[in-house]
């Protein structure tokens, strides 16, 4: 059974946090494989593209409407009371939970870090067009064969509900992954507060970024990710064996493998680091000089 990480005994154990990050790779890759079945459908990301929504008084895009409706329901089930869950819809626009929140041990320091607007922006502008390209090209070929022409025809397959449902799932998984940076950061801070404090007091994001960056971990992650995307994205024939074309080259893939790697390299890792640094910059807010002094004098933990 998947354990609820924030309820475990030692939630700041960096190995445990990293195993959750690794587990989320599967969720994200499988979500992207699902999304790759459908064309780009750019209309669903444009504000005001559906007059039906405008008539309902909703001014956002079709996807933002899906997010709001889904998150409204999840908020009632107390999803956003968990320290690892962040809605894309502003929290004030969501209902209160109908059951009392679970009692979480206070693990994170109070903070206002939420990078969901950046996630929504890079996902809709860079990831969806790339991940859906194969489906868009296949649709174009089939429509051309039927004599249907016109640019828009190729990227719009009309599966607005299916595409947006998957987009919501992928966005939630990416958001959880990126905001886990707060736990990573708290863990690193607790390990050696004295190393971080001068760069928080005299705010130096570059120095903090250097302290939290682990190149070997990033390198291993990107290698693993390419292998996972290649393995999970294989198309298997009815006999369960990989489909190998006659020319002996690799068979068809359900996903753009390099696209998945680049998603992590260009967006997910940098944003996780941004969360880590922004969280650290708020880490001493509200502490007294004595409390800061006490933290500074705490000996670094050895691993």
Ligand X SMILES: O=C(O)C(=O)C[C@]1(C(=O)O)C=C[C@@H](O)C=C1
The residue ranges that bind ligand X (CB under 6 A) are: 18, 21, 184, 212-214, 217-218, 221, 269, 272-273, 276
Q: Is 52 helix (H, G, I), strand (E, B) or coil?
A: helix
Q: Which is nearer to ligand X, 49 or 222 (CB)?
A: 222
Q: Which is nearer to ligand X, 69 or 262 (CB)?
A: 262
How is residue 95 annotated by DSSP?
A: P
CA–CA separation, 264 and 43 (whole Å): 26
Q: Which is nearer to ligand X, 213 or 266 (CB)?
A: 213
Q: Contact, 125 vs 63, CB < 8 A?
A: no
Tokens of 13: 């154990």
Residue with tokens 């404090």: 197
Q: Contact, 224 vs 2, CB < 8 A?
A: no
At its nearest, how many Å lie between ligand X and the CB of residue 106? 21
Q: Which is nearer to ligand X, 75 or 211 (CB)?
A: 211
CA–CA separation, 62 and 16 (whole Å): 37
At its nearest, how many Å lie between ligand X and the CB of residue 20? 11
Beta-strand runs (E) in 138-230: none
Closest CA to 167 of 42, 286, 66: 66
Closest CA to 80 of 64, 102, 107, 61: 102
Q: Which is nearer to ligand X, 25 or 157 (CB)?
A: 25
Q: Which is nearer to ligand X, 181 or 259 (CB)?
A: 181
H or E stretch at 153: helix 151-155
At its nearest, how many Å lie between ligand X and the CB of residue 210? 10
At its nearest, how many Å lie between ligand X and the CB of residue 145? 44
Q: Is 107 helix (H, G, I), strand (E, B) or coil?
A: coil
With CB atoms as reference, the residue minimizing the distance to ligand X is: 272
Closest CA to 274 of 222, 174, 205, 201: 205
At its nearest, how many Å lie between ligand X and the CB of residue 10? 16
Q: Which is nearer to ligand X, 68 or 214 (CB)?
A: 214
Q: Which is nearer to ligand X, 79 or 214 (CB)?
A: 214
CA–CA separation, 173 and 168 (whole Å): 9
At its nearest, how many Å lie between ligand X and the CB of residue 214? 4
At its nearest, how many Å lie between ligand X and the CB of residue 292? 24
At its nearest, how many Å lie between ligand X and the CB of residue 142? 39
CA–CA separation, 102 and 40 (whole Å): 39
């Amino acid at each position: 059974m998947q354990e609820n990480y924030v309820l475990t005994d030692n939630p700041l154990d960096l190995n445990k946090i990293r195993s959750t990050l690794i587990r989320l790779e599967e969720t994200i890759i499988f979500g992207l494989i699902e999304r790759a079945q459908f064309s780009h459908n750019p209309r669903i990301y444009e504000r005001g593209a559906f007059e039906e929504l405008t008539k309902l008084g909703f001014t956002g895009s079709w996807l933002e409407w899906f997010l709001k409706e889904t998150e409204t329901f999840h908020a009632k089930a107390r999803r956003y009371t968990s320290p690892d869950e962040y809605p894309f819809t502003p929290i004030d626009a969501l209902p209160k939970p109908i059951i009392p929140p679970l009692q979480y041990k206070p693990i994170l320091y109070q903070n206002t870090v939420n990078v969901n607007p950046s996630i929504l922006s890079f996902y809709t502008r860079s990831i969806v067009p790339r991940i859906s390209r194969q489906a868009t090209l296949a649709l174009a070929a089939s429509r051309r064969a039927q004599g249907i022409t016109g640019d828009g025809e190729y990227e719009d397959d009309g599966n607005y509900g299916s595409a947006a449902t998957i987009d919501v799932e992928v966005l939630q998984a990416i958001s959880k992954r990126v905001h886990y940076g707060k736990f990573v950061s708290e863990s690193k801070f607790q390990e050696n507060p004295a190393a971080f404090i001068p760069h928080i007091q005299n705010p130096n994001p570059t120095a903090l970024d250097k302290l939290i960056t682990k190149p070997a971990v990033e390198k291993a992650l990107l290698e693993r990710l390419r292998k996972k995307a290649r393995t999970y994205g294989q198309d298997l024939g009815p006999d369960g064996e990989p489909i190998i074309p006659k020319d002996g080259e690799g068979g068809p893939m359900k996903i753009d493998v390099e696209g998945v790697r680049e998603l992590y390299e260009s967006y997910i890792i940098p944003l996780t680091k941004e969360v880590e640094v922004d969280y650290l910059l708020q880490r001493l807010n509200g502490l007294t000089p004595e409390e800061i002094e006490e933290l500074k004098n705490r000996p670094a933990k050895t691993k």
